[in-house]
């Protein structure tokens, strides 16, 4: 069946959807019936989809094109208003992550989608990885033994231009509305959501207690170097230690410490290491999975309802005092000063995942 689809947000991450939609169109699975953005289409998108209806207002585009589903890949603080328009128009929704910048907004999207009996998938693409599914199954079957804990580490590098690219980058709020663009809630949101999913603790009530250390190396409102530790209702300890101020960036890893086996999930690479043995897997994208759900009732990989525990973490971070600026004496700068890193942070995030410890417990001097 060919589904009629519209895309809101055609550049930035939306460009990924444009490429995927072009491929799905070629397979006859979707037909792009309209595009919405505040900016005109760029040259590539114009060449490919310049013949399709374009509007700066999503509600008007939805009314004029009657799609089956809409993809919303716009800034976080626009997710609720645009989701309302999609769901009120009777369309299924694929919403980029994080689904909303506050618990109240997440709850409203969830309630509305249920009320309208429409599907809402959230774009946590790591949850569609075969490596993630396999590890979840192994854990559930007890193959790793008792789970002693799950630790995630991530070390990326973002320069000054990253935070200058848009008005909402690096913001907790913008013009009085929440944005929640911190390292744990946006760039490393997949780490948090995937660790929770591995433990099958995705509901709001599946977290027993949680704590965060929020730090920053830049003049921004949010954390760029952070450590989350929580205990799920099934008594699993989960830590997520991440930074955007690494000198030597590497892809993030989730370590599952079992009493019998150790697993490492490299969630951006669909790679699973079981006691060091490598398994490469494929992945199904959030859009393909949503189409299969609509056609054949295949379960969604990332239903909006299954973002409860993630949103609880986000809400906790929103309520935590602003991140502390790391003292200049622990920082190093490169080039024209646009790149800042914390020497040794790569080892610190890794140690956190291995020992399920916070930066302060590890005695990291920049964290205490």
Ligand X SMILES: NC(=O)c1ccc[n+]([C@@H]2O[C@H](COP(=O)([O-])OP(=O)(O)OC[C@H]3O[C@@H](n4cnc5c(N)ncnc54)[C@H](O)[C@@H]3O)[C@@H](O)[C@H]2O)c1
Residue 69 in tokens? 């589903």
- By the 10 Å C-beta count (0-12 exposed, 13-18 middle, 19+ buried), 56 is classed as exposed
CA distances, 5 to each of 34, 115, 188, 221, 287 (Å): 7, 21, 28, 36, 11
Which among 119, 162, 135 is positioned nearest to 287, based on CA atoms?
Answer: 119
Q: Does residue 9 belong to the site contacting ligand X (CB under 6 A)?
A: yes
User: Could you say which of 3, 6, 7, 14 contacts ligand X (CB under 6 A)?
Assistant: 14
- Of the residues 75, 149, 182, 258, which one makes contact with ligand X according to CB under 6 A: 75
Selected from 6, 7, 8, 291, the binder of ligand X by CB under 6 A is: 8
**Phi, psi (rounded to 5 degrees) for 81:** -60, -40
Task: Tell the smallest beta-carbon distance from residue 351 to ligand X (Å).
Answer: 26
The residues, any chain, with a CB within 8 Å of residue 330's CB and separated by 6 or more, are 342, 343, 365, 366
Element (H, E) at 266: strand 262-266
CB of 262 to ligand X, least distance (A): 27
Burial of 164 (0-12, 13-18, 19+ CB in 10 A): exposed
CB 101 to ligand X: min, Å: 9
> Smallest gap, in angstroms, from Cβ of residue 105 to ligand X?
13
Q: Output the smallest distance, CB 125 to ligand X, in A.
A: 6
42 phi and psi angles, rounded to 5 deg: -70, 170
10 is a site residue for ligand X (CB under 6 A): yes
Q: How far apart are the first and last CA of the chain?
A: 57
Pick between residue 35 and residue 245 the one whose CB is nearest to ligand X. Answer: 35
Residue 36 binds to ligand X (criterion: CB under 6 A): yes
Stretch near ligand X under the rule CB under 6 A, chosen from 19-27, 75-83, 191-199, 325-333? 75-83
Q: Is there a contact between 227 and 139 (Cβ–Cβ < 8 Å)?
A: no
Give 10 or 306: the residue with its C-beta nearer to ligand X: 10
Of residues 38, 160, 161, 368, which one binds ligand X by CB under 6 A?
38
Does position 259 interact with ligand X (CB under 6 A)? The reply is no
DSSP β-ladder status, 262-266 and 271-274: antiparallel
Binding string, residues 108-147; x marks residues near ligand X by CB under 6 A: ---------------x-x----------------------
12 is an interface residue for ligand X by CB under 6 A: yes
Closest CB to ligand X among 13 and 47? 13
> 23, 39, 259, 338: which one contacts ligand X (CB under 6 A)?
39
For ligand X, which residue of 5, 6, 34, 37 counts as binding (CB under 6 A)?
Answer: 37
Q: Which residues of 326-346 are buried (b: 16+ CB within 10 A; e: fewer)?
A: beeebbeeeeeeebbbbeebb
φ/ψ of 229, rounded to 5, equals: -135, 130
Number of chain positions touching ligand X (CB under 6 A): 23
Q: Which of 6, 41, 92, 96 binds ligand X (CB under 6 A)?
A: 96
Of 311, 88, 85, 58, the C-alpha closest to 178 is 311
* Residue of closest CB approach to ligand X: 12
Q: CB–CB of 230/244 below 8 Å? A: no
- Write down how long the chain is: 368
Q: Give the interface segment with ligand X, choosing from 68-76, 227-235, 297-305, 353-361 (CB under 6 A).
A: 68-76
Contacts of 219 (CB under 8 A, 6+ apart): 325
Residues numbered 46 to 65 that lie near ligand X (CB under 6 A) are 58
Residue 239, helix vs strand vs coil: strand
CB of 8 or CB of 227, closer to ligand X: 8
194 binds ligand X (CB under 6 A): no
Of the pair 11, 136, the CB lying nearest ligand X is at 11
Binding site for ligand X (CB under 6 A): 8-14, 36-39, 58, 73-76, 78, 96-97, 123, 125, 166, 186
């Amino acid at each position: 069946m060919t589904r009629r689809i519209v895309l809101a947000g055609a550049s930035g991450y939306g460009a990924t959807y444009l490429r995927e939609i072009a491929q799905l169109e070629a397979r006859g699975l979707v037909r792009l019936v309209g595009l919405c953005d505040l900016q005109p289409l760029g040259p590539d998108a114009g060449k490919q989809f310049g013949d399709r209806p374009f509007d700066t207002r999503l509600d008007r585009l939805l009314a004029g094109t009657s799609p089956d589903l809409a993809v919303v890949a716009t800034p976080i603080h626009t997710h609720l208003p645009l989701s309302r328009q999609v769901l009120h128009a009777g369309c299924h929704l694929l919403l980029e992550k994080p689904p909303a910048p506050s618990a109240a907004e997440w709850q409203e999207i969830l309630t509305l989608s249920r009320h309208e009996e429409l599907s809402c998938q959230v774009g946590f693409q790591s949850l569609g990885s075969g490596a993630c599914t396999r590890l979840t199954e192994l854990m559930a079957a007890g193959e790793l033994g008792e789970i002693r804990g799950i630790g995630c580490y991530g070390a990326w590098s973002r320069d000054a231009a990253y935070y200058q690219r848009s008005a909402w980058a690096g913001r907790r709020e913008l013009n009085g509305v929440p944005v929640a663009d911190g390292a744990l809630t946006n760039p490393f949101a997949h780490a948090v959501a995937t660790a929770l999913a591995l433990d099958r603790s995705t509901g709001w009530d599946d977290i027993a207690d949680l704590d965060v250390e929020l730090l920053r190396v830049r003049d921004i409102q949010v954390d760029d170097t952070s450590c989350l530790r929580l205990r799920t209702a099934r008594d699993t300890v989960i830590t997520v230690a991440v930074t955007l101020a690494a000198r030597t960036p590497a892809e993030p890893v989730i370590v599952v410490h079992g009493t019998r086996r150790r697993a490492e999930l490299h969630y951006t690479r669909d790679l699973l290491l079981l006691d060091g043995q490598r398994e490469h897997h494929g992945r199904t994208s959030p859009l393909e999975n949503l189409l299969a759900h609509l056609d054949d009732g295949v379960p969604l990989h990332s239903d909006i309802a299954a973002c409860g525990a993630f949103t609880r973490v986000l809400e906790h971070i929103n309520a935590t005092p602003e991140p502390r600026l790391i003292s200049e004496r622990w920082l190093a700068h490169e080039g024209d000063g646009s790149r800042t890193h914390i020497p040794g942070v790569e080892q610190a995030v890794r140690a956190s995942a291995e020992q399920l410890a916070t930066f302060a417990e590890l005695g990291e001097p920049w964290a205490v």
